[in-house]
Structure 1
Amino acid sequence: MTRGDESSEVRDAPLRMDTTRASVPRVYDALLGGKDNFQVDRDVRARFLELDPEFLRAVLDRRDFMMRVTRYLAGELGISQFLDLGATLPEAENTHEVAQRLNRESAMVYVSLDRGVLAHGRALVADNDRTHMVEADFRKPRQVIEHPTVAKHLDFSQPMAVYHVGTMQHVRPERDPAGIVADYIDALAPGSYFVFAHLIDPVEDEELSKLANAVRDVYVNAQVPLWLRTREEIEGMLAGLELLDPGLVLLADWWPDGPRLQPLGRTQRLALGAVGRKP
C-alpha cells in the first residue's frame, strides 16, 4: 500500500494477533510449510492431516485455481482490475504478481480483517503502487466498496474481477450469504467476473458427506465457524451470472494445467469453484 493511502493512525497502529485461537490464513500457511503461524494453527493442521494425510492437496487446489483464473482473466480477457476478498498470507506467488506479469497496468486490492495478513501484506506491497491491502469486513459489501483505498484504485463503472474464494463458507445463514454475494455482483459493471469457491456438503455421497462434516467440526472446534452448503445452495449464490465453461466444478477440474497423474484425494472432492461473467 502506498504510504499516502493510510492515515498515520492506521499506518502506525500495532496489529495485535490473538495467538490463542487459530486463524484460517495461518492454518493454510502451516499446511504450506510457512513460518507465519503458531502452535494453535499447527494443532489444527495436525487434525486435518489425521482426517486425510493428503489434505495439503486440497489447499493447493485453492491456490492453483486462483492462479489459473488470474492468468486467464488478465492474460486472455484483458481484465486489469482485481478485488480479492479472501486474502491470505503471502505465498511463493500471489495473485497480483500473476496479473501484473501479464498486464503491468493491473490494479489489485486485497481485503482482510486478519492481523497477520494485514501486516505481512502491507509489507509485501509497500513499494508496489498498483497493489494495495485494506482492512475491511467482506461481509459488509458497502464497507468494502466505499473504502477510500478501494474507491481510489478500482473503478466500479468498468469491468473488473472480484474473488470470493473460500470466504462465504464462514458466513452464518442469518447473515444472508447469498445476499452478500448479490450485493457485490450488483455493484459490478457488465463484463465483470466473479470468482467463487465454497466447501460443499455432498449429501448424495454418504462417505464424502461424513468427511465434509468432520472437516467442518475441526474448524468449529478451533473456534472458526464454518457452514457447508449443497451444490444447489452454492449454485443459487451465483444466480444471474453466466458461468464460464466448465461451470461449477471441483477446483482441480477448473481448466487444469495438464493431465491428471493421480486420482483426486478425498478432501479434494469437497470444494467447488466457478467463474461467472456479469451480462
Structure 2
Amino acid sequence: MAETEPGANRIDTTRPHPARVYDWYLGGKDNYPVDERLGQQITARDPGAKRAARSNRWFMQRATRHLAGTAGIRQFLDIGTGIPTEPNLHQIAQNSAPDTRVVYVDNDPIVLAHAEALLRGTPGGRTEYVQADVREPEKILDEAARVLDLGRPVGLSLIALMHFIADDSGAYELVETLVDALAPGSSLSLSAMTADFEPEEVRLGIAAYARGGVTLVSRSHAEVGRFFKGLDLVEPGVVSVKDWRPELAEGETPIGDEPVSLYGGVGFKR
C-alpha cells in the first residue's frame, strides 16, 4: 500500500534528511555523505547525540512492549517510521500478539525503498507502508483505515518526530487531529527533544540542523507534556526516555547516568 506521487520516489542526496541522519547515529548504512557530514557536525558539538538516538530507539521498544503486552493493543500506526532498524515496531508487537496489524508512515523515499523489510510480519498479522507526511493527517488516516479498524483502539507512535514540526506549523494541532480520530482506549507514544538537560549542546545541534536546511525545535517538559493533553499518562509520566519503564528493557546496553535530551511518554485516550 505504498502511496506515491509523481517524483515522490526521488531521493534527494544534496540535502540531509532527519531519517538518514538518525540511521547514521544508529550505525546504519542507508545514509549519504551529506547526512554523515551533518551527523559528524552535531556529534562534534554534542557527543551524546548517538547515545540519545539509541536511548530513543529503546524507548520505542519498551513502549511497544507495554502496549502490545500489558495493554493488549492489537493495532499500531507508526508515523515517522524512519529507515528499518531491527527490531522494528511490528516485530516487537507481533512477538507479543502475532495477529497485530501495523501501518508504517514516512515521507522519505529511501524508507519506501526499504519498505519490504518493514512488511515482513507474522502470517497472522499484517504490516503495510504509506508514504506520507505527518502534516497530512487526513491522508494518513484515510490510508491507515484500509488496514486498521479505527473504531477499535490503535497505538499511535510519534517517536522523535514532532521536534521537526514548529508550533507555528501546527505541531499540537496535528497530534490532536490524529488522536481525535482514534477510538477510546487508543494510546499515544511520543518522544521529543528538549534543552532542559543540556541547553548549550542542544542549541548547537539545532544550529547545525538549520545550516542543513532542517527545522529542529526543543521543548520544555511542560511543552512536551502538552502533546498528551486529555490523555491518561502511564507511569512514570513524561520523563527522559532512558528513564521510562526500564524494567521492560530487553537487549539494551548500559549508557550511564548522563542525561538524554529527549522526553518520552505514553498516554491513553479515555
TM-score, with normalisation over the residues of structure 2? Answer: 0.91
Distance 1:132 1:262, change over 3 A: closer
The CA distance in 2 between the partners of 1:219 and 1:63, in whole Å, is 20
CA deviation map 1:23-72 (0-9, x unaligned): 11111111222111111111112112212334221000111001111111
Alignment root-mean-square deviation, CA: 2.3
Distance 1:67 1:138, change over 3 A: same
Q: Which moved more, 1:121-130 or 1:193-202?
A: 121-130
Amino acid at match of 1:74: A
Who is 2:257 aligned against? 264
The CA distance in 1 between the partners of 2:206 and 2:141, in whole Å, is 30
Who is 1:242 aligned against? 232
Who is 1:277 aligned against? 268
Percent identity reads 34
The CA distance in 1 between the partners of 2:135 and 2:53, in whole Å, is 23
Matched residues, number: 265
Q: Which moved more, 1:248-257 or 1:165-174?
A: 165-174
Q: Is the 8 A contact 1:112 1:134 kept in 2?
A: yes
Q: CA deviation at 1:260?
A: 9.3
Counterparts in 2 of 1:81-96, with a 5 A limit? Answer: 81-96=75-90
The CA distance in 2 between the partners of 1:131 and 1:193, in whole Å, is 19
Q: Is the 8 A contact 1:122 1:132 kept in 2?
A: no
SS in structure 1 of the partner of residue 192 of structure 2:
strand
Who is 1:125 aligned against? 119
Which consecutive residues of structure 2, in runs of 5 or more, have no partner in the other structure? none
Instruction: Give the number of the structure whose alpha-carbon radius of gyration is greater.
Output: 1
Q: Is the 8 A contact 1:17 1:116 kept in 2?
A: yes
Q: Is the 8 A contact 1:159 1:188 kept in 2?
A: yes
Q: Which moved more, 1:89-98 or 1:51-60?
A: 51-60
Which consecutive residues of structure 1, in runs of 5 or more, have no partner in the other structure? none
The CA distance in 2 between the partners of 1:52 and 1:139, in whole Å, is 29
Distance 1:260 1:88, change over 3 A: closer
TM-score, with normalisation over the residues of structure 1? Answer: 0.88
CA deviation map 1:91-119 (0-9, x unaligned): 12101011111111000000011010111
